[in-house]
Structure formats: C-alpha cells, structure tokens
Structure 1
C-alpha cells in the first residue's frame, strides 16, 4: 500500500477509531513497540483512551505529561507518536521528547518523517523550542529521519545495557 503524504493527518486518540487501533496493534505483531503508550492494555478501549487523556493532563504517577497522536489516512492508523511536554532528568539522558513508530508494512515510504514533522508542529504549539530526539545508533532509518527533519547530533551515550544512543536536537521555534 502506498500512501499519499498530503492526505495524512495526526489526531489525538479517539474512541471512534477502536477497530483501527486494534488493527494497528495486530500489524505490529511481536516486535518491540514504539512509542511506550502502545504497551498499555487496550482491551477496555474506553479506559485506554481515558489513560491517554490522563497522560496528557500529567495525572499518571511516574510519567511526565505527554500527548499521543495517531497518523491517519482516512480510517486507518499508519503510525503513532508520543510527545513529552517536558523532560525530567531520566528522559533527558535517554528518551527525549518524541517517540514514534510506523506500521511495518508501510515503512520506507517517508511516513516516519511526516509523522515527526507533524509532531514537531505540536511541540512548537506547546512552546517547546528545542526538541530532544534520541535513537539507537544502529537504527539507520531513525537516524536518517531525524537528520532529514533538521536534527543536529548533540551527543552519544550508552544505556545500561551498553547500547549506543545518538541524542539529537531540533530547534522548532
């Protein structure tokens, strides 16, 4: 399936798209999921949507406030992003402001770049002027996506397991 980038948009999670969300999760299969909000149980979908709102409102203990967005083409979810409204010390070190992922069968079409661009617009609307983006050094697609959106390599660190993380900055305002 080829997607027209001008037709896509991002929306906040909505009960209206329960079936589309379940289909998106099925398409991910057993792979590691990004962003972290995909790991929450969505069996009770109304409760899941309420949790997304609580995350946005900063009401979830142990989590910084964050907004989740779905990249949509009509009724289909193509990808998901999560934008942290601010960084605590832990996610400033490893994590950054934005995590995102695209459905496996749609990768390689530039949709991650489009999702990042749209999420950066949301960051600017929140008043975030310097966005921190982190990715594994070995993940060439993520590194290229960040660079394509004007990401400048700021530093390189290792996580607890020794995996190398590239930390980028993007100025949006």
Structure 2
C-alpha cells in the first residue's frame, strides 16, 4: 500500500538512496525535499525539519513558514517521492512556492505516483484546515502541471520571475 509518512532516522538508507538517484538525474532538482540537498547527514536534515515544523521553536527561521515533510513509500519503505507541505503562505510562497512542493524519484516518474502523492498531501492539508491549496510548477514541467490538473487544479495565472515562468494553480480542498 502506498502512503505518506514522515521521515525518521530509521529510514536513513532509503532517504540517502533517494537523494543519490535525484543527484544522478540529468534534470537534478530536489523539489519538495525540505533542503535535503544541503545536508550530508540525515540526522542533521531531520533536525532542520524539526525546527521548520514549529514556528515557536527558538531556532525557527522566520524566512520560512511552518510546514511538514513527507515521504511517499510502500510497505517496504521504498521511497517513491517526497513532498513538503507549507501550512500557510508568506509573500514568496503566494507567488512562487505554494502550499505544496514535491518530487518523484526519476525511475518512477510517469507512472502515476505524482498524482497519488498530491492527493494524499491534499488530505493532510485538509486536516490542517487548508481549504484552498496553491500548487505551482515551472511552465516547462509538463508532468507536474498535468498532475496538478488531474487533482482539480485550476490555473490562476503564470508569473515571470528571474526569467522563469511559473504556473500558479488553486485546488479547492473542502
């Protein structure tokens, strides 16, 4: 059964395998990975995620918003994808990042896991009373915007920032 779980140190090998596959991909981009690419040790990444999950934590970075990190796994804890959920939006996220950042490991793309992951993420956000979810993607990421559309996304607009076109979709989540 495919499900979303939060990362723990017990999944260190699986997390590192996911990171390695992402790094080895020619289109390397660690979207939705909670800055995993900046940490060599999973334990330090988990500490970062803990600080990021509680805005009342004295180490909370005010440039971020409170959020949670999730892994799309099967019963063997094989990681198909990662999703980072922002529980509310700041000005930057309102324009470019949205409530949801996600990725699927390169060897599993185009097999429906993105749609499964986004649907499960929407359920988590519904539990946090996020009734309207903003999901963004690059204008060139066809798989991502097809995934967003398949989950009920409605294109509000496209914005240009740093010569990059970003699509902004809203999903009603009541």
TM-score (norm. length: structure 1)? 0.91
Gaps of 5+ in 1: 1-6
RMSD: 1.2
Q: Which residue of 2 aligns with 1:49?
A: 46
Q: CA deviation at 1:87?
A: 0.4
Gaps of 5+ in 2: none
Mapped partners of 2:139, 2:45: distance in 1: 32
The aligned runs of 1:1-173 (5 Å cut-off) are 7-30=1-24, 31-37=28-34, 38-43=36-41, 45-58=42-55, 59=57, 60-61=60-61, 62-73=63-74, 74-160=76-162, 162-173=163-174
Q: CA deviation at 1:36?
A: 4.9
Question: How many residues end up aligned between the 2 structures?
Answer: 165
Question: Which stretches of structure 1, 4 residues or more, deviate above 6 A after TM superposition?
Answer: none
Question: Is the 1:13–1:52 Cα contact (8 Å) retained in structure 2?
Answer: no
Give the 3-state SS of the residue equivalent to 1:29 in structure 2.
helix
Mapped partners of 1:67, 1:42: distance in 2: 20
TM-score (norm. length: structure 2)? 0.90
Q: CA deviation at 1:155?
A: 1.2
